């Protein structure tokens, strides 16, 4: 379980990263594009994803076509845990045009082509999230890790509710594989988040 001190450190790191980008006139979503001049629909940024070969964690940033994107969103991260022969999608993190996170979501299996694991294993993977990466994308990786810590309760709830939603759909449909590959079901669970409120909550506790 994360202690208040851990949460303060995560909040401090995330706030510092956001501030450093702001001081250079950049947003987090611009940083996530990894130097690309154009933001092309569906393309991954970076092109081969950001991968930590040691831990198996990776993520990429991208956007869908304009008619599929919620109003005001710029794009989103897909956070993944890769094993020897397969991978698991853990959580999606959507950003607005200012580079602030606005929404967390889980997806159906067909969306990323993952092997769907149960909520207990997915949550265990998320709690161990840590990427040892260097270079221009290192702050983005640190930002993703800090955000997961700050919103772990919301993410856990979404993942548990994802499994419940799948179970309900299987009961209605009678076939799990059909459900996991149904194009009618893209995002399974989601919730809005407010980063500024969360940072204020954790930073003010220690400073008070």
Q: Kindly report, residue by residue over 122-141, the tens digit of the pLDDT.
A: 999 998 899 988 888 899 99
pLDDT at 2: 63
Q: Kindly report, residue by residue over 145-175, the tens digit of the pLDDT.
A: 999 999 999 999 999 999 999 999 999 988 9
The whole-angstrom separation of Cα 166 and Cα 115 is: 14
Pair 150, 9: CB distance under 8 Å: no
The whole-angstrom separation of Cα 146 and Cα 13 is: 7
Sign of CA dihedral 103, 156, 201, 10: negative
Flag whether pLDDT at 205 surpasses 60. no
Share of the chain above pLDDT 90, in %: 67
The whole-angstrom separation of Cα 156 and Cα 62 is: 23
Which SS3 state, helix, strand or coil, does residue 182 take?
coil
Give the global pTM.
0.92
The arithmetic mean of pLDDT across residues 5-24, rounded, is: 91
Residue 180, φ and ψ in degrees, nearest 5: -65, -20
Share of the chain above pLDDT 70, in %: 97
The domain ranges of the chain are 4-203
Confidence of residue 68 (pLDDT cuts 50, 70, 90): confident
Q: Could you tell me the maximum CA-CA distance found in the chain, to the nearest angstrom? A: 54
Q: Mean pLDDT, the chain, as a whole number?
A: 90
Lowest-pLDDT choice from 35-39, 43-47, 61-65, 110-114:
35-39
């Amino acid at each position: 379980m994360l202690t208040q001190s851990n949460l303060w450190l995560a909040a401090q790191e995330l706030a510092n990263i956001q501030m450093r980008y702001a001081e250079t006139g950049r947003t987090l979503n611009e940083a996530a594009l990894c130097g690309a001049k154009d933001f092309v629909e569906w393309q991954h940024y970076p092109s081969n994803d950001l991968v930590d070969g040691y831990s198996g964690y990776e993520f990429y940033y991208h956007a869908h076509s304009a008619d599929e994107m919620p109003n005001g969103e710029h794009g989103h991260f897909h956070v993944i845990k890769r094993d020897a022969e397969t991978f698991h999608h853990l959580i999606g993190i959507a950003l607005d045009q200012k580079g602030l996170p606005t929404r967390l979501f889980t997806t159906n299996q067909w969306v990323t082509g993952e092997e769907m694991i149960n909520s207990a294993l997915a949550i265990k993977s998320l709690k161990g999230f840590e990427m040892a990466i260097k270079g221009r994308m290192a702050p983005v990786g640190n930002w993703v890790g800090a955000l997961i810590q700050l919103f772990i309760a919301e993410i856990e709830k979404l993942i548990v509710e994802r499994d419940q939603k799948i179970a309900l759909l299987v009961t209605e449909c009678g076939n799990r594989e059909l459900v996991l590959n149904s194009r009618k079901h893209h995002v399974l669970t989601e919730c809005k988040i407010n980063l500024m409120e969360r940072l204020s909550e954790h930073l003010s506790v220690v400073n008070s």
